[in-house]
Amino acid sequence: MLDSDPEIVTSLRYLSKDKRNPFTKAVTKAVRNLGIIGRDEPLDPSRLLTKLIFVSVQLVYTMLLVLVPSYFIFSWYEASVSYLMFVFVVGTWNGASYYIEIFSTRYDQITLRTACNASRVLTTMLSQI
């Protein structure tokens, strides 16, 4: 189904076609140096080889960035507490940033509307004098 519609953007299509992405550059360079693909051969998302490369890199990425830290967080109390504190601080920061950005914008809009209404009322009163 996906092969018949090239307009559908999948992560494989996006990553294999994005030449500026540092991760794509690193993977392409690595597989070329290993001789898996040719020097001038692009990563074509419709080829089985590209799909296997993508799955292999995703497996290594998952092992390094999800499973290894999870082991340390599970095994060490200090790592667990540090991680929970980090998540709490980042969540608090993001919530506070959202609150300030959104509600300050709304406050500015309300203040502007109030000032415009007051200006109209004052103009109307002055024109009647």
**pLDDT one-digit tens code per residue, 90-114:** 999 998 888 888 888 888 888 888 8
How confident is the model at residue 89, as a pLDDT? 97
Together in a domain, 65 and 83: no
Together in a domain, 86 and 41: no
Residues 34 and 28 sit within 8 Å (Cβ to Cβ): no
Together in a domain, 34 and 65: yes
Range of the domain at 65: 1-75
Please state, as a whole number, how many other Cβ atoms lie within 10 Å of the Cβ of residue 21: 14
Half-sphere exposure of 41 (CA within 13 A, CB side): 14
- pLDDT less than 70: residues of the chain: 1
How confident is the model at residue 1, as a pLDDT? 65
Please state the separation of Cα 68 from the chain's center in Å.
Answer: 22
How confident is the model at residue 122, as a pLDDT? 77
Together in a domain, 66 and 96: no
User: What's the total number of domains in the chain?
Assistant: 2
Together in a domain, 69 and 86: no
Q: Is pTM, for the whole model, over 0.85?
A: no
